[in-house]
Each structure stands twice: as structure tokens, then as C-alpha cells.
Amino acid sequence: MRTMFEIAGRAPIFRHVPPPDLERLLQRSSVRQLDRGACVYLQGEEAHSLFVVLEGWVKTYRMTPCGNEAVVGIFTKSDSFGEEAALGNQNFVAGAEAVSQGIVLQIDAQVLTQALSGDMVLCQSVLAGAMESNRCLVEHVEQLKSHTGGQRIADFLISLCGDKSGNCTVILPYDKVLIAAWLGMKPESLSRAFRRLKAYGVTIQKDHAIIESVERLAHYADEDPAESWSAKNDCKAERCIGSN
């Protein structure tokens, strides 16, 4: 129980809430076990709850009118999702689905809204969380607009390395179709881009990425995409399509 509150307490929206207040707040929340592929909520559904991931991975995604899927967010331990809709008393702007076995904490929006209306600290804390998720989205928009597919993968691998330098082996946390969708690429473009990263010291073995030098990879991620594109013609039509 305590562990559950600790994990939830690290979520941006709860980070500034004093632990006893948070425990009281979350007492009426419920725990949901999710199988891989389980639907947490549908796009357009009325939002009665928000969620914190306790274990595993969850994606949020939008269906385009023609049935394609754009992965908008990927969430893991201590990440919250669904709060924009739940607290705004709106419908969910994207659907949410477990991409691995997992456990989420489901928090009743009404309970939280009620708590918010009487608790300044909680309100400001939730606001700080909203600003943080906003900043993450801005970073993602920038990456989508200014980086080639290969560079986005490099960024993605580096983000998995943490602060490490030198060599590093990371476990790819979810399947490649999902990574492609998250990075705004077609799965086949992702495979090509992975192969190209060999030249920058990256070897992919099943769900492991072995990186010879994080610095070298970071240098590639920061290169001028115009140069890398004209030199290597390596991103033709990447980013044109989300995954199917």
C-alpha cells in the first residue's frame, strides 16, 4: 500500500502534495490490473477518472478519420495520464491502452475535483503537473518538426540511457511498431533507421540496443538534419505516416 502511494507521489501532479494528504486523497482510488492490449479508456469517452501507472507501459493514441493511429504519449511507472480530460470535465481527447502487462491506479475525478476546490496546495501542485506535461509535449513537437527519423531514434535511445556517457546497453521497453508510431514513422522506416545507426555505433539485438558511445550518438542526434538528409538520403518519406 505504502509503495503504491510512493509511486503515485512521484507523478508530477502529486509531487508537491504532502504525503499524508495524498494518502487520504488516494484512499478511494482503485487498482486495475491490465493485460497487454487492454483498453484503459476510449477516445471520446466521458472522463470520470485519471490514472497513474504503477507498473508496465501504457500508450495514449488518437485514431485518425481513416483509421490510422498516432501515438500521442507513452507512460510508465509514476507517470499520470488522462488528467486534462478528467479535471476539465471533458471527454478523453485520446484513447489509452496497455502496451505491456501492467497495473494502474484509477483515481475518481470527482473526488480529486472536490479535493482541489478546497485545497490550494493541491490545486497548485496539479497545475505544476499540467505545466510539466505541457513542456514535454512542446519538446516532442520540436523533435517531430526538426529531427529526421534517424535522429528521433537516437534521441529516444539516449533518453533510455539516462545520464550515462560512454557505452551503454538499453532494453527497448515496448515493441517496434509502437516505437515507430511514437516517433511518427512507419515500422519499415524504423527498421531501416535502426540499420543505419550501425554507422554510429548502435547494434540492435532483439529488444536490446547496444550503444558504443552515447556522446557519438548524441552528436548525430544534434547534426543539421538538412546535411544528414542530403548526404545520406536517409529519411525519405519518414514521418509521413503514423503506424497502422
Distance CA 193, CA 206 (A): 15
Q: Which of 133, 175, 176, 212 contacts a copy of itself by CB under 8 A? A: 133
In sign, the C-alpha dihedral spanning 23, 26, 32, 36 is negative
Q: Which residue type does 202 have?
A: V
**Contacting a copy of itself within 213-242 (CB under 8 A):** 222-226, 229, 235-242
Distance CA 58, CA 40 (A): 9
- Please give the sequence-ordered ranges of beta strands (E in DSSP) within 45-130, or none if there are none: 49-55, 58-63, 69-75, 80-81, 95-98, 102-108
Cell numbers describing residue 146 = 526538426
Site for a copy of itself contains 117 (CB under 8 A): yes
Q: Which of 108, 132, 175, 212 contacts a copy of itself by CB under 8 A? A: 132
**Contacting a copy of itself within 149-168 (CB under 8 A):** 149
Contact stretch for a copy of itself (CB under 8 A) within 21-29, 48-56, 96-104, 117-125: 117-125
Site for a copy of itself contains 68 (CB under 8 A): yes
CB of 222: closest distance to a copy of itself in angstroms? 4
**Contacting a copy of itself within 19-58 (CB under 8 A):** none
Q: Which of 10, 24, 28, 135 contacts a copy of itself by CB under 8 A? A: 135
Q: Which of 8, 34, 58, 72 contacts a copy of itself by CB under 8 A? A: 72
Distance CA 80, CA 53 (A): 6
- Nearer to a copy of itself by C-beta: 1 or 120? 120
CA distances to 141, 182, 230, 242 from 177, rounded to whole Å, are: 20, 9, 27, 10
Cell numbers describing residue 149 = 527519423
- Nearer to a copy of itself by C-beta: 64 or 167? 64
Distance CA 225, CA 184 (A): 16
Distance CA 201, CA 213 (A): 7
Site for a copy of itself contains 190 (CB under 8 A): no
Q: Which of 26, 59, 83, 174 contacts a copy of itself by CB under 8 A? A: 83
At how many degrees (to 10) do helices 120-146 and 19-26 cross? Answer: 90
Site for a copy of itself contains 71 (CB under 8 A): yes
Q: Provide the binding-site residues for a copy of itself, judged by CB under 8 A.
A: 62, 64-73, 83-85, 87-88, 90, 93-94, 116-118, 120, 123-124, 126-128, 130-135, 137-142, 144-149, 181, 184, 222-226, 229, 235-242, 244
